[in-house]
Amino acid sequence: MRERTALAHLRHFTEYRIDIHACNHAAQTVGCSAATFVFARTMPEPHADNIPGNVTWEPSSRNSVLLRWEEPRRPNGLILKYEIKYSRENEKVASVVCVSRHRYAQHGGFHLALLQPGNYSAKVRATSLAGNGSWTGLVRFYLLGPEEEEAGNVYVLLTLMPVVLMVGVACLAVLVFVYNRKRSTEGYPSGTLYASVNPEYFSTSNMYVPDEWEVPREKITVLRELGQGSFGMVYEGVAQGLEEGGQETKVALKTVNELATMRERIEFLNEASVMKAFRCHHIVRLLGVVSQGQPVLVIMELMTRGDLKSYLRSLRPEAENNPGLPPPSLRDMIQMAGEIADGMAYLNAKKFVHRDLAARNCMVSEDFTVKIGDFGMTRDIYETDYYRKGGKGLLPVRWMSPEALKDGLFNTHSDIWSFGVVLWEIVTLAEQPYQGMSNEQVLHFIMDCGVLERPENCPEKLHELMRWCWQQNPRLRPSFIEILESIQEFMSPSFRALSFFSKRKRCGSSEALEAETEQLLAGKEEEWEGPALSPHSL
């Protein structure tokens, strides 16, 4: 028998992930089954994209007017553009103007220019991700000819002179009153005093300062929706001027939810700012930030094949979205592992601890290269991979080391443990680690020295790496450089040309040569660009 239930009070035209657990008791989650989930989008609201109120107008010059209107209050996703349809009286063919949301935001409307004198009518409609809204009612306006305008100016001057004189007298009276009041109260404090908890300090974490990464909003065009991110939606788009020569670049655009608080918007930008310091072929590149205006955008390198977890699951023979590729071979799996380890080795050299290394946080490019994804931005997509321990923040317990679970200790050794779990995900095509156990059970299992079982048909080489990463003593675990040294013979020629590991070997490992590596990464990446690799070409 198929159970059915209805979820009410959801936001319109919004994608939700719905997780379903089988539980023995409604009030207790311990002992529940692992979740099965489905992505679903609610239907668009029929009138959500309609412009509220009336369109108004005001003259802006001799032959132009400024049309103003309000934006839809709760549109179906993003508003992409507005259309203005206008015509002069007795003209049968109406003109249509397309207004981007950015141009609208500059003036709260749009200037209709180069108009001839006469009577006009106009109407406006909005276009969102769900389609077009309804046209507004007609607004009618009249542009004066030169003779009418001159006569009107004389009339206005004669009308306004008495008004200006009265306003001047009133202002003078107010000034005299304020001056006398100030003299009578001199020497005594008055008015409102504003107190601060600590007026000497202001937290810079509560602000975001635009810098050289700022990209003008008009250089960004949204093409299509890619999916849901932890802060908001993710779109494919095009950016102009990011590359030399001014040509267009396909990018991923991450947005913050329109309902987000100012603190959440700043947190969104600050988490993206972490990536400004990284320049490695196996880390997804930050390309720019649009912090001025709404919505806030983070511009990332476009990874067309999505996150590694979804990509691995698509390679299962029974997967509905299988791209027609066979499951990865041993060399394919080692290639993926090496690319992830190279990105992590770079982060380690930068003294950066990831804390959340998992297949869901790695991305796959068009040429099948695996890269460390943007940090802190995928949590909501796979929320069931996280667990809230003792009222604290969400924790990825199935990927965490024993010392991280016991003492909250995160360092490169705990990242190595997580890397071992990623190897397990690669071999199993992204099965859930510790399948059949609740998060609470997993937590106790790991702290009691438990580790994942060897996957079925797992190559010995990869299982050796897993066991090496899962040493109970953190100091006995390998570094990412040691992992790469153990598998370097299996890596592709392009890896040897582009990887941080290979450049480090050529230049030496001293800190003095780290700057040279950075310079090479910044200036020679195009020179090292090799032919595209498929995951089965090794």
Beta bridge partners of 95: 86
Give the Cα separation of 293 and 214 in Å (integer): 12
For 179, 183, 466, the CA distances from 174, given in Å and listed in that order, are 9, 14, 81
**Which residues are documented as binding site?**
254
Q: Look up 356 and say whether it is catalytic.
A: yes
Q: What 8-state DSSP symbol labels residue 264?
A: H
Phi and psi angles of residue 127, each rounded to the nearest 5 degrees, phi first: -125, 125
**Which residues are documented as binding site for ATP?**
254
Give the Cα separation of 76 and 92 in Å (integer): 33
Beta-carbon neighbour count of residue 191 at 10 Å?
A: 5
DSSP labels, 282-313 = TBPPEEEEE-SSSS-EEEEE--TT-BHHHHHH
Beta-carbon neighbour count of residue 269 at 10 Å?
A: 22
Phi and psi angles of residue 39, each rounded to the nearest 5 degrees, phi first: -95, 135
Burial 120-157 (b: 16+ CB within 10 A, else e): bebbbbbbbbbeebeebeebebebbeeeeeeeeeeeee
The answer to whether 356 touches 383, Cβ cutoff 8 Å, is no
Which amino acid, one-letter code, is at 355?
R
Collapsing DSSP states into helix, strand and coil, what is residue 170?
helix
Of 49, 332, 356, 385, the catalytic one is 356
Nearest C-alpha neighbor of 291 from the set 375, 208, 223, 228: 208
Q: Diameter of the chain by CA atoms?
A: 96
Phi and psi angles of residue 96, each rounded to the nearest 5 degrees, phi first: -125, 130
Give the Cα separation of 429 and 316 in Å (integer): 7
Catalytic residue annotation: 356
